């Protein structure tokens, strides 16, 4: 009888201990799960802040660049047209006055075109193909180098935020090629492969050793900007053989 009581007491104590241990384990798992949830929410909030900050910086950069472009147009183009219009309108010859009026009409068109660039509404009205084509045409028209675009149009359907970031990244890549590469040709290829879309920016310039870290933050910033839209920035360069940049974005 005593032995049975001891066994019963042992079973009760063991059961109580196991129950307490199981309860402690469950509580620990719940606490750990909640901690992970809090950490995940903090990470998401941090990513949102970085994303919004990136967009704000890019909008400011594009607006500053737009203002610089408007200033050049006002000085070099519209200023010249106004001078020609003034000269012709001050003439006593009817044909010169008519020519002056034509200049005035041309100036009105130029000013209207410039006014559209003062905000970012143009971002929604232009496709990536159109934007890239325009950028390459501007480079080639200066006589700096030849350019080419090969596209399957896979980037033409993009939200405004993603388009803004890509526009700025592409602008920076092209500016770097102009400043540092001294290429004969800059080519851009746009294509989709599987679940990824890619933009390849290639030049045949002097290249550089991409394994050597630089003090500048330009390439790092481009990589971080692509990360904010879930994309990737890859760069390969060989001295004397040019540079290839690939921008990847998932579908």
Residues 112 and 136 in one domain: no
Q: Which of 55, 89, 119 is the last residue of a domain?
A: 119
* Chosen domain end from 66, 95, 119: 119
Least confident of 1-5, 122-126, 158-162, 243-247: 1-5
User: Which range has highest mean pLDDT (8-17, 135-144, 199-208)?
Assistant: 199-208
Q: Where are the alpha helices (DSSP H) in 73-176?
A: 79-89, 94-116, 121-125, 128-141, 160-176
Strands 146-151 and 185-193: parallel
Same domain, 180 and 115: no
Question: Quick one: 93 and 196 in the same domain?
Answer: no
Kindly provide the b/e burial profile for residues 17-52, where b requires at least 16 CB atoms within 10 angstroms of the residue's own CB: eeeeeeeeeeeeeeeeeeeeeeeeeeeeeeeeeebe
- Higher-confidence residue: 8 or 92? 92
Which residues constitute the domain of residue 215? Answer: 126-251
Name the one residue in this structure whose structure tokens are 């232009």: 126
Which of 119, 153, 168 is at the close of a domain?
119
Q: Is 182 left (phi over 0), alpha (psi -120 to 50) or beta?
A: left
User: Are residues 132 and 248 located together in one domain of the fold?
Assistant: yes
184, 146 contact by CB (below 8 A): yes
| Domain shared by 105 and 189, yes or no | no
* Sheet arrangement for strand 146-151: 146-151, 185-193, 196-203, 242-250, 232-238
Is pLDDT of 245 > 90?
yes
- Asked if pLDDT for residue 213 goes beyond 70, the answer is yes
State residue 2's pLDDT score.
Answer: 52
Residue 22: per-residue pLDDT? 81
| Among 228, 171, 179, CA closest to 199 | 171
Predicted confidence (pLDDT) per residue in 133-154, tens digit: 999 998 998 899 999 999 999 9
Note the pLDDT of residue 119. 67
Report the pLDDT value the prediction gives residue 170, as an integer from 0 to 100: 94
Residue 76 C-alpha from the chain's centroid: 30
Same domain, 137 and 243: yes
Considering the domain architecture, whether residues 146 and 228 belong to the same structural domain is answered as yes
User: What pLDDT, on a 0 to 100 scale, did the predictor assign at position 39?
Assistant: 78
Note the pLDDT tens digit of each residue in 72-125.
Answer: 777 777 888 888 888 888 888 888 888 888 888 888 888 887 777 666 777 888
Q: Specify whether 41 is located in the same domain as 143.
A: no
Q: Name which residue leads in pLDDT, 225 or 15.
A: 225
If asked whether residues 27 and 95 sit together in one domain, one would say yes
Same domain, 115 and 47: yes
Residue 150 belongs to a domain with what CATH number?
3.30.565.10
Tell me if 161 sits within 8 A of 229, measured CB to CB. Answer: yes
Residue pair 71/180 in contact (Cβ under 8 Å)? The answer is no
Q: Rounded to whole angstroms, what are the CA distances from 129 to 35, 173, 179?
A: 45, 16, 23
pLDDT at 40 over 80: no
- Does 151 lie in the same domain as 235? yes
Query: What's the domain count of the chain?
Result: 2
Same domain, 205 and 228: yes
At 215 the pLDDT is 64
């Amino acid at each position: 009888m005593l032995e049975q009581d001891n066994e019963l007491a042992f079973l009760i104590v063991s059961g109580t201990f196991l129950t307490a241990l199981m309860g402690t384990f469950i509580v620990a798992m719940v606490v750990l799960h909640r901690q992970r949830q809090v950490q995940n929410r903090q990470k998401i909030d941090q990513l949102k802040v970085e994303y919004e900050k990136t967009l704000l910086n890019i909008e400011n950069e594009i607006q500053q660049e737009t203002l610089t472009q408007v200033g050049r147009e006002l000085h070099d183009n519209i200023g010249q047209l106004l001078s020609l219009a003034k000269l012709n309108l001050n003439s006593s010859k009817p044909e010169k006055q008519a020519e002056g009026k034509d200049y005035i009409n041309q100036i009105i068109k130029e000013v209207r075109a410039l006014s559209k660039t003062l905000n970012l509404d143009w971002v929604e009205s232009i496709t990536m193909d159109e934007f890239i084509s325009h950028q390459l045409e501007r480079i080639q028209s200066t006589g700096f180098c030849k350019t080419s675009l090969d596209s399957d149009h896979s980037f033409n359907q993009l939200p405004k935020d993603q388009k803004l970031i890509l526009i700025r990244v592409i602008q920076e890549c092209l500016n770097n090629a102009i400043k540092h590469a001294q290429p004969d040709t800059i080519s851009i290829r746009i294509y989709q492969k599987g679940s990824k879309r890619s933009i390849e920016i290639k030049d045949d310039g002097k290249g550089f050793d991409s394994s050597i870290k630089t003090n500048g933050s330009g390439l790092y910033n481009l990589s971080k900007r692509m990360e904010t839209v879930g994309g990737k920035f890859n760069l390969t360069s060989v001295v004397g053989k040019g540079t290839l940049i690939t921008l990847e974005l998932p579908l």
